Structure 1
Amino acid sequence: MTSTLRTLTASLLLACISLPTLAAPQHALTLYDEAPKYPANFKHFDFVNPDAPKGGTFRQASFGGFDSLNPFINKGVAADNLSIIYDTLMRQSLDEPFTEYGLVASKIEKAPDNSWVRFYLRPEARFHDGHALRAEDVVFTFNTLIKDGAPLYRQYYADVSEVLAEDPLKVLFKFKHTNNRELPLILGQLPVLPKHWYADREFTRGNLEIPLGSGPYKVAEVKAGRSIRYERVKDYWGKDLPINRGFYNFDAMTFDVYRDNNVALEALKAGAFDYELEVSAKNWATAYNTPAVREGRLIKEELPNGNPVGMQGFIFNLRKPVFQDVRVRQALSLLFDFEWTNKQLFNGAYIRTGSYFENSEMAARGLPSPAELKILEPLRGKVPDQVFSEAFHNPVTDASGMIREHQRQAYKLLQEAGWKIVDDKMVDKDGKPVNIEFLLAQTQFERVLLPFKRNLADLGIGLEIRRVDVSQYINRLRSRDFDMIVSGFPQSNSPGNEQREFWSSSAADNPGSRNFIGLRDPAIDQLVEQLINADSRQSLIDHCRALDRVLQWGYYVVPNWHIKTNRVAYWNHIGHPQKSPKYDVGIDTWWVKPDVTPAPSTAPAGEAN
């Protein structure tokens, strides 16, 4: 080799060494770049029946009503299950904590430094009208959701700086920062909307025009506010993909609207619909004592739930001056007698929720670990002192219904906050009588709130239970026109960007966010951002626990209850795989048994609505 050639070869080698590591397209993404459960050549997920029969109609109940077929905007009430008509770039596996496999995208390429992600689209992907699904549709979707979609999208995609259609089958998302590990997976969940269909339509209108999608189902029939029917797309472009095998087995799915959950339960037992996820412990224990259940025609089953259950509770709206003192919130929390409620109303079926990440390893327990203290120490003086020295526990009663000790503690806290009793009525520090409105849409919650109301009344505090219809409830929720509500903060096994929607100051005034509390706390903002930027699973766990402790000691909600199973009731002509997915009921993998006759409906006409 000549001297010149050796020099040239060495230079080329040095040049290659100096190049950044090139990303390799993958069939799946995981949060911390661990290997996915399923290899690139997998045939189907483990939790499906790959040979499930196709056919039949699956009937479900819907609560409250709807007036829109656009679930992406902050107007109107959208019909149930509209997501089934849209394909996403990727789809999450239901038996892994957070792994996504390509759907519209066949391959995904992520920058080694996490500064961008590229999706390679399947050339066969198309919308229901036959129009090819291409990169311009992905770009249109993203930009439209950012500009005109519900405010949550601007929060969710805040770290995206630019989206580019590099060619008809390649889309590149560039990021503002490189420490948001979850962002490529979040973008994988992007539903793809048809650019050509919206060319002569106003995206921000919430109406009942049947939208165009690309997914396994399409909207076939709409009866305004009463019912919606979806039909399986027989020539669905993605029906043979391994990710879809064993899914989408019903020829049709219907949702009939009920205004009252008790009426809906009776309709289920009469055979008017096929399936219910039961959320009432009382109903589960006592309302299914029917011949159909005893004979095995209507099946009751508890399926394991491996998901964090999050926090459901009576939520204080901190935008209201009455709730801005933490001592007031703690006092009101002392007046909810969970033990009596569980014994008398729930047949002892529930466990009290103590963590915002309940039923997971991310829940704070005991005193903070050294790793948690390292996260929390810079915030000393900005978060409650108890965070560092005490384990949070809910108050516990003897279930007798007599809570005098808790009332004494509550009264002392209220006095410390400047409240006092005048003429048998509690007045706040400004001398105004305390009357709290609890906004409610669910009739079944009234029986839970009435004992709470009595306990508050013993201290001269008025609680008005204001029940409204679903449409009014949603409008008042969006405008933050409430004192207290019952709602929840659902959690996944890999919490991330959605935490901004729950807790961050930037989401407090967004009408579409889930920051119902009205939190505006720089310390919580910092914890949320650190959680999102966690660089390992253990770091994520530590940051979740640290955030959990601060939320617990803030007394922002009166914690409710949870169970660790999914209680389902369904008629025996419906089948499901022997192995349920760990993190979901997996309804999309169920089917109608071709050799079993559906139950005849004995529900009186007009029960729905």
Structure 2
Amino acid sequence: MYGAPELPPDFVSLPYANPDAPRGGRVVFGNTGGFDSLNPFVQKGTVPWQLRFWTHESLMGRSWDEPFTLYGVLAESVETDPERTWVEFTLRDEARFSDGNPVTVADVIWSYQTLGTEGHLRYRGLWGKIASIEETGPRKVRITFNVEDRELALIAGMRPILQKAQWQGKDFAAAQLQDIPIGSGAYVIDSYEAGRYLNFKRNPDYWGGDIPFRRGTMNYDEMRLEFFGDQTVLFEAFKAGQLSAVREFNADKWATQYNFPAVQRGDVVKTDIPHLKPSGITGFVMNTRKPPFDDWRVREALLHAFNFEFINDTITGGAQPRITSYFSGSELALQPGPADGPVRALLEPFAEDLLPGALEGYDLPQSDGSERNRRNIRTATALLEEAGWSVENGVLQDQNGTPMRFNILISQGDKESETAIEIFARALERLGIVIAAEKVDDAQFTSRTNALDFDMTYYRRALSLSPGNEQKLYWGSENADTPGTRNLMGVASPAVDAMIEHMLTATSREDFIAATRALDRILTSGRYVIPFWNFDVGRIAHVKEMKFPQALPIYGDGPQYMPDVWWYQAD
């Protein structure tokens, strides 16, 4: 995106992969919930999240050691003009789907058009920005854009490529469970039982094992996903030796509950994976499409009533720091105090529409750590009164006598959220507010959040060091009310839209950082989410036979780190 890639044209492997890693072995991972679809490219159904990373490929692939840098996968070369109004890819002659058929330009064009019109919402934004997509040679495809957006040349290389012939005469968007999309990736689905397990095997004829981007990756012969009712059952299965690895997101549990016999014997290893990526946002998101969450003063009152310090101490032992903004922990985060310099210049045209704190500086409420949280409860009371709410006979109600009651939608088995809600509910009772946890299975949770059918719900949005067009999907106005949107809070802000546009059209890293910091200010001062704790380090417990390179990417752990660059080796 800015400057030149760090790796030379003749690089051997990604810097955090071991090009000499042995191939072989079998590993088993666990998911909670179930699945009723094996097509991760459409809106319909619940799909194992790992599927699209293991079975399909795109023209280019990301290096997780460089923000905004891509290297060739299905494409052997890429060209673009200085203004990036078009991009042209040349396919590798050896690229093959898992059934042995070559990956063709026709497959690429069909994939982009189909995903852009019938695919999952995450893929549709690009299609509207394409003026034309055409074959310019036997293995060449050129995409011309109709808007000014320098990131599009990169995004165009990141769409999964599917096989056109597989879907002739079939309804792609209405695919059934057995309609598994054919991919070009290293793994194929070997067997499955709906909601119980999914087995992957490395394709012995995988075409790309020795290209530089893939060398030292996709090393396991077999990977299996087992499905469990909740995280507690999954953890017990891991302790019993039924799973090969788990990711742990609770620092207190990591310190106190990973001392079972397999760990003491050395058969299970605890590994910390540091990173430099932004915190993202995790917490309870408020649906601002409906009252009372459409009033920022109510949202601010709820932030004061949410006693983070006490809740964090109860759940994580206070070991994990709080998320302080959407990009906290990185150079993209808002800077403390009033906005100044280029950030202020970007925000000032929208000064009348920004909420308090965007320009002046905004910090999340802090409690004294005690359960009573008296000072913040007093502040919450004043904010609610200012917003037109008053207590009558112990019940908070508006001017029409309607009491404030709402539910927090969570998945069954989400014990941490359930505990947080119990403590939150006791605090809100003192304000005259009644809330309850609404626990549903994973399929219902996905269906409800896709339909925007919730008051408040658990929310996790991971963010990268190279934010771009996906920000429109996360909090852009265009899809704020579209079923399936990732903009669960319902942000519809011209200022947010403008900052995203500045990010996409920036020609220098400095201008890009200023636009991202300005966006972070607007989102944080919008009080849309009650933030939880930051996952400041990756924690993986794994069998001793699972090995990984000593060189770590700046992104740390993630979906394309473990198991992608790990391997199996008996001591």
TM-score range, shorter chain: over 0.9
Equivalence for 1:322: 292
CA shift, 1:488, in A, is: 2.2
Equivalence for 1:104: 74
Q: What whole-Å deviation, never above 9, does each CA across 1:259-295 have from its counterpart, x for those lacking one?
A: 1101101111111010111112332122112122122
Structure 1 residue matching 2:542: 3-state secondary structure: strand
Counterparts of 1:200 and 1:266 in 2: how far apart (Å)? 46
Equivalence for 2:163: 194
Give the counterpart letter for 1:181 in structure 2.
R
CA shift, 1:157, in A, is: 4.1
Equivalence for 2:144: 174
Matches within 5 A, 1:116-265: 116-178=86-148, 180-209=149-178, 210-265=180-235
Give the counterpart letter for 1:463 in structure 2.
I
Give the counterpart letter for 1:96 in structure 2.
E
Q: Is 1:400 paired with 2:400?
A: no
Matches within 5 A, 1:292-303: 292-303=262-273
Counterparts of 1:35 and 1:145 in 2: how far apart (Å)? 30
Counterparts of 2:237 and 2:281 in 1: how far apart (Å)? 30
Query: Identity of aligned pairs, percent?
Result: 39
Structure 1 residue matching 2:519: 3-state secondary structure: helix
Structure 2 residue matching 1:549: 3-state secondary structure: helix
Counterparts of 1:512 and 1:170 in 2: how far apart (Å)? 34
Equivalence for 1:364: 334
Give the counterpart letter for 1:592 in structure 2.
Y
- Contact residue 64 and residue 553 of structure 2 kept, 8 A: yes
Equivalence for 2:355: 384
- Contact residue 151 and residue 510 of structure 1 kept, 8 A: no
Counterparts of 1:549 and 1:581 in 2: how far apart (Å)? 28
Counterparts of 1:449 and 1:338 in 2: how far apart (Å)? 11
State the aligned residue count.
562
Counterparts of 2:17 and 2:89 in 1: how far apart (Å)? 26
CA shift, 1:194, in A, is: 0.3
Give the counterpart letter for 1:382 in structure 2.
D
Matches within 5 A, 1:274-353: 274-353=244-323
- Contact residue 132 and residue 143 of structure 2 kept, 8 A: yes
Q: Is 1:70 paired with 2:52?
A: no
- Contact residue 141 and residue 193 of structure 1 kept, 8 A: yes
Counterparts of 1:175 and 1:88 in 2: how far apart (Å)? 19
Give the counterpart letter for 2:128 in structure 1.
A
- Contact residue 418 and residue 428 of structure 1 kept, 8 A: yes
Give the counterpart letter for 1:45 in structure 2.
L
Counterparts of 2:475 and 2:246 in 1: how far apart (Å)? 32
Q: Is 1:471 paired with 2:443?
A: yes
CA shift, 1:329, in A, is: 0.4
Deviates more, 1:164-173 or 1:205-214: 205-214
- Contact residue 275 and residue 569 of structure 1 kept, 8 A: yes
CA shift, 1:242, in A, is: 1.3
Counterparts of 1:388 and 1:260 in 2: how far apart (Å)? 43
Equivalence for 1:531: 503
Deviates more, 1:338-347 or 1:53-62: 338-347
Matches within 5 A, 1:453-532: 453-532=425-504
Counterparts of 1:149 and 1:86 in 2: how far apart (Å)? 15
Consecutive unaligned residues of structure 2, counting only runs of 5 or more, are none
Structure 1 residue matching 2:478: 3-state secondary structure: helix
Structure 2 residue matching 1:161: 3-state secondary structure: strand
Structure 1 residue matching 2:213: 3-state secondary structure: helix
CA shift, 1:426, in A, is: 0.7
- With normalisation by structure 2, the TM-score equals 0.96
Q: Is 1:443 paired with 2:419?
A: no
Q: What whole-Å deviation, never above 9, does each CA across 1:154-185 have from its counterpart, x for those lacking one?
A: 2244322221122331111110123x111111
Structure 2 residue matching 1:501: 3-state secondary structure: helix
- Contact residue 133 and residue 142 of structure 2 kept, 8 A: yes
Q: Is 1:425 paired with 2:425?
A: no
Of 81, 104, 109, the residue aligned with 2:50 is 81
Counterparts of 1:312 and 1:264 in 2: how far apart (Å)? 22
- Contact residue 155 and residue 507 of structure 1 kept, 8 A: no
Q: Is 1:115 paired with 2:91?
A: no
Counterparts of 1:377 and 1:46 in 2: how far apart (Å)? 42
Give the counterpart letter for 1:148 in structure 2.
E
Counterparts of 2:78 and 2:504 in 1: how far apart (Å)? 21
Counterparts of 2:548 and 2:106 in 1: how far apart (Å)? 38
Counterparts of 1:201 and 1:518 in 2: how far apart (Å)? 34
Equivalence for 1:601: none
Structure 1 residue matching 2:17: 3-state secondary structure: coil
Of 395, 412, 428, the residue aligned with 2:382 is 412
Counterparts of 1:207 and 1:484 in 2: how far apart (Å)? 31
Q: Is 1:375 paired with 2:346?
A: yes
Give the counterpart letter for 1:375 in structure 2.
L
- Contact residue 307 and residue 492 of structure 1 kept, 8 A: yes
Equivalence for 1:591: 567
Consecutive unaligned residues of structure 1, counting only runs of 5 or more, are 1-30, 597-609
CA shift, 1:68, in A, is: 0.3
Structure 1 residue matching 2:182: 3-state secondary structure: coil
- Contact residue 211 and residue 219 of structure 1 kept, 8 A: no
Q: What whole-Å deviation, never above 9, does each CA across 1:447-504 have from its counterpart, x for those lacking one?
A: 1211011101111101111000000111111110000011122211111101101111
Equivalence for 1:9: none
Of 60, 82, 92, the residue aligned with 2:29 is 60
- With normalisation by structure 1, the TM-score equals 0.90
Deviates more, 1:351-360 or 1:338-347: 338-347
- Contact residue 218 and residue 231 of structure 1 kept, 8 A: yes
Q: What whole-Å deviation, never above 9, does each CA across 1:347-398 have from its counterpart, x for those lacking one?
A: 1211111111111111112221211111111112111243222x21111122
Equivalence for 1:562: 534
Q: Is 1:571 paired with 2:543?
A: yes
- Contact residue 151 and residue 511 of structure 1 kept, 8 A: no
CA shift, 1:214, in A, is: 1.0
Q: Is 1:270 paired with 2:246?
A: no
- Contact residue 198 and residue 224 of structure 2 kept, 8 A: yes
Q: What whole-Å deviation, never above 9, does each CA across 1:384-434 have from its counterpart, x for those lacking one?
A: 243222x21111122121211111110111001000111211112432111
Counterparts of 1:498 and 1:504 in 2: how far apart (Å)? 9
Counterparts of 1:319 and 1:148 in 2: how far apart (Å)? 26
Counterparts of 2:67 and 2:489 in 1: how far apart (Å)? 28
